[in-house]
Structure 1
Amino acid sequence: MATSEKAAGLTIEDEQSKEGAQAVDLKLDKNGLPLIPQPSGHSDDPLNWSPALKLSVALQVSWLSFLGPMSSAVANPAFIPIGKAFHITTVEASYSLTVYIICAAVGPLLAVPLANTYGRRPVYLIGNLVAGICNVAGGFSPSWGGLMATRAFVGIFAGSPATIGPASICDMYFMHERGFYMGIWTFFLTNGPHTASLMGGFIAQYLGWRWCYTIPGYIQIATFLVTAVALPETLYPRGT
């Protein structure tokens, strides 16, 4: 009986010692509060990156999130000339936006599990590159069916940053920092369609409706070249 009580006492002391050691190892913020989540001791942990690198990645992710909604709505002011070019009604021309929106809802179903398994970076890069190529192809499409096909692929591949962007922000920032940087990301995301409508009107009037697709496509391809060099992976295996 005494032996079992002694063993139990040792077990309790061991647990208390472990808890004390864990408390000592806690990393604190400037106010002395525990950081959530706790960063690891590795320099490649996104939580340990420099503020400049974190901001660079946050702005790149925000810009990628802007490009999808922007490319979805940039041709909206050009539905009338698109209809005339393909001998369809203005309502039928608007189906190019409908197809984009439907496919943009399908894309995240693939993007999220792939990003959580293989990383955020390849999903960003591949999605943006394919969307850019398809946008350019849509601008040169000789048929209505070809244009609709490119819009479907743009919707699938350009919509991924809208779903995995918040994950990248949370990969890099502690809980008390996330609100500010999520605000930046949300600003870019929600202003994509507004900017697109203004830009698309001028493009359609002075350059022609085809440029409403090729210009966003070229911007996406240029963005791919930048992010291929400057966008690091933010997914980090973190123990619980």
Structure 2
Amino acid sequence: MISNTTHSESPDAVTAISPTDVELAPITSHSKQDDPFLVAFAEPFDAENPKDWRTGRKWAVTDVLSATGFNRIMVSTIIAPALSTISAEFDMNSAESAMALSIYLLATAFGPLFIGPLSEVYGRKPILHASNVWFLIWNIACGFARNKETLIACRFLAGFGASAIYALANGVLGDVWRPEQRGRSLGVYMLIPLLGAAVGPIIGGFMANRTTWRWMFWATSIFQAVMILVSFTAFQETYEPLILRRRAERLRGETGDTRYYTIHERLHANKSALRILGRALVRPVRLLVSHPIIQISSLVSAFYYGILYIVLSTFSDLWIYQYHQSVEISGLHYIAVALGEIVGAQLCGMLMDSLYHRLKARANGEHTPELRTPSVFPGAFIGPLGLFLYGWAAQYRLHWAIVDLGAFITMLGMQITGMPLQAYIMEAYPEHTSSAGAASQFPRSLTAFLFPLFAPTMYKVLGYGWGNSTIAFIGLVVGLPAPLILWYYGARLRTRAQASY
């Protein structure tokens, strides 16, 4: 339970270590050799190490996070079929109506910038519980809104709480799963949340015709209350520095010896709590501004995430106005979107793990984050292909199954593109996966907010054929060079990057 290191508790030993050296070099097992007071996870197995937990315990934590993510993401799109009803009741113009839907996504851009760093200071568990309750309160308030201003404000505040799922997912999955399990764990985790974005309009379509739109918020709030109860019992702390700090505190209390310490306690020695918190809160912004690998991977992910929300926000209108179907039937076409994402996530999970093992073997067993980037290429071709099919089939009003097939292929390709990039960020920033995830989520949420705002005008001017073709061509230009850059220059860019501390 206690590992050794060359560091000691004496002031002289502390000052002999350059802070820059500590920040730039992650603490690895070869530096823990001579200090009996350094508290770290034992090798090769430690029951308290989240990566050594039994498989069932890992899946319990993953599934709780996944189910919570389903509800939070579903709420982002569930009101889409009811926007016309809400607009009529609150006398909203088209811009205000779009804002009622999209403001939730804008909040998910800013929320992770705070929530991710907070989880690296106070741990994953309290942040998850606090954000769950925050989201529940404001989602209920949406159902009781009596004017458009209240609805839009409550949607923003609910989205802020919901954004915790984006900040915590990378961190928790990075805490409990090892690189060789990355593909499968990501695929299973994303299985339920991916349903949320597509299932939301389906449920919303039926509720819009059969009951008041307010039940969209009340029903999801009931589910959220259940998930809060489940998370309080099933979710356990996964943040390694916090687990080790508690162990060190326990050892100091049991032995009365104050020399026991963790490497993170040593790293933050002589720093005030306010300074530690301030440094953590600006970390996602620093990563986004100064780290090229965050910028490159985020650009690709953000573009495809924006396309996802173009499809989600306009798909119903396509079937209602282009194919003259009912609101309820139009919502059923989102099944194709959901299936594309689910199949893409599962195929990508298997592809990632298989390709990772092969590339790692060729690299003589050495693990580097760049081993994830070749998995991006299939999706970079498949996604645009689906957009071409979807756009021109809709333009010429071909059979609905062909349009749905195009949407299916589009979503499948986007998942195969996005998952390896997510894994790359997780493994490039093992010390601060939540902050890195928050940095990459910011542009993603911005495109999810902005792209649906111009999508109706784009389709009106260019039509579905050239509208989707334009997006597909941009996708090829953005999606193909990025993995090549990361493959050839990623390691060099990571070396030159400023320390994530």
Q: TM-score, normalised by structure 1?
A: 0.79
Q: Deviations over 1:170-200 (max 9, x none)?
A: 1111111121011122333333210101111
Partner of 2:61: 57
Higher relative CO (Cα under 8 Å, sequence separation at least 6) belongs to: 1
The 2-side partners of 1:40 and 1:117 are apart by: 27
The 1-side partners of 2:192 and 2:84 are apart by: 28
Partner of 2:228: 224
Whichever residue aligns with residue 97 of structure 2, its letter is A
Sequence identity of aligned pairs in percent? 27
Q: CA deviation at 1:68?
A: 1.9
Secondary structure, aligned partner of 2:161: helix
Partner of 1:116: 120
Matched, 1:141 2:136: no
Matched, 1:43 2:47: yes
Q: CA deviation at 1:157?
A: 0.8
Secondary structure, aligned partner of 2:239: coil
Partner of 2:197: 193
The 2-side partners of 1:158 and 1:106 are apart by: 11
Matches within 5 A, 1:149-164: 149-164=153-168
CA RMSD of aligned residues (A): 2.3
Give the direction of change, closer, same or farther, for the CA distance of 1:39–1:222 in structure 2 (3 Å limit): farther
8 Å Cα contact 2:103/2:155 also seen in 1: yes
8 Å Cα contact 1:108/1:159 also seen in 2: yes
Whichever residue aligns with residue 188 of structure 1, its letter is I
Match for residue 178 of structure 1 among 169, 177, 182: 182
Q: CA deviation at 1:90?
A: 4.6
8 Å Cα contact 1:39/1:47 also seen in 2: no
Partner of 2:374: none
Matched, 1:71 2:75: yes
Q: CA deviation at 1:41?
A: 4.7
Partner of 1:128: 132
The 2-side partners of 1:75 and 1:62 are apart by: 21
Matched, 1:169 2:173: yes
Secondary structure, aligned partner of 1:94: helix
Secondary structure, aligned partner of 1:232: coil
Whichever residue aligns with residue 103 of structure 1, its letter is A
8 Å Cα contact 1:61/1:165 also seen in 2: yes
With 75-84 and 217-226 compared, the bigger mean Cα shift is at 217-226
Q: Deviations over 1:29-65 (max 9, x none)?
A: xxxxxxxx98665422212211111111111111122
Partner of 2:84: 80
The 2-side partners of 1:118 and 1:94 are apart by: 36
Give the count of matched residue pairs: 208
Q: Deviations over 1:178-231 (max 9, x none)?
A: 210111223333332101011111112112111111111221122111101111
Partner of 2:286: none
Partner of 1:93: 97
Whichever residue aligns with residue 129 of structure 1, its letter is V
8 Å Cα contact 1:166/1:182 also seen in 2: no
8 Å Cα contact 1:104/1:156 also seen in 2: yes
Whichever residue aligns with residue 128 of structure 2, its letter is Y
The 1-side partners of 2:42 and 2:182 are apart by: 14
8 Å Cα contact 1:132/1:219 also seen in 2: no
Q: TM-score, normalised by structure 2?
A: 0.39
Whichever residue aligns with residue 107 of structure 1, its letter is G
8 Å Cα contact 1:80/1:90 also seen in 2: no
The 1-side partners of 2:94 and 2:230 are apart by: 37
Give the direction of change, closer, same or farther, for the CA distance of 1:212–1:90 in structure 2 (3 Å limit): farther
8 Å Cα contact 2:64/2:230 also seen in 1: no
The 1-side partners of 2:208 and 2:229 are apart by: 27
Whichever residue aligns with residue 73 of structure 2, its letter is P
Q: Deviations over 1:112-135 (max 9, x none)?
A: 100111111111111121111211
The 1-side partners of 2:71 and 2:129 are apart by: 13
In structure 2, list runs of 5 or more residues that go unmatched: 1-28, 34-40, 245-262, 264-430, 432-501
